[in-house]
Amino acid sequence: MASGRKVAEVATLLGISQQTIYVWRRQHLIDTGQMPGVPTHEQAELAEARKRIAELEAELAVHHGAGTAHATGRSARLARQPHPSAQARNTVGR
């Protein structure tokens, strides 16, 4: 390590695994541009974006579920049929 101490010694002093120190070191090298990878600040933005996407997908699933719950019986048959104006547009020019 930079201070001349061994990783095992520092890990023992901090009460963490050696692997944790290696992960921290790697991320430091990425954050300082010495190694390719995703910097810490971008990881936070990506995590927030993924969380928001998951929320929106869950909300969309609820709305899709609510829409299909009402489409039963005759209304389900009507829901599958195209609107009359769409049929008229499809026949124009034939």
The verdict on residue 63 lying in a domain is yes
In this prediction, residue 7 carries a pLDDT of 94
The total number of structural domains in the chain stands at: 2
- Asked if residue 21 and residue 2 are part of one domain, the reply reads yes
From residue 49, give the alpha-carbon distance in Å to each of 31, 32, 36, 45, 88: 20, 23, 22, 6, 43
- Asked if residue 27 and residue 49 are part of one domain, the reply reads no
Q: Mind listing the pLDDT tens digit for each residue in 17-70?
A: 999 999 999 999 999 999 999 999 999 999 999 999 999 999 999 988 876 655
The verdict on residue 91 lying in a domain is no
CB atoms within 10 A of CB 21: 16
- Residue that the structure tokens 């002093």 belong to: 13
Q: What is the pTM of this model?
A: 0.50
- Asked if residue 28 and residue 16 are part of one domain, the reply reads yes
CA–CA separation, 23 and 27 (whole Å): 6
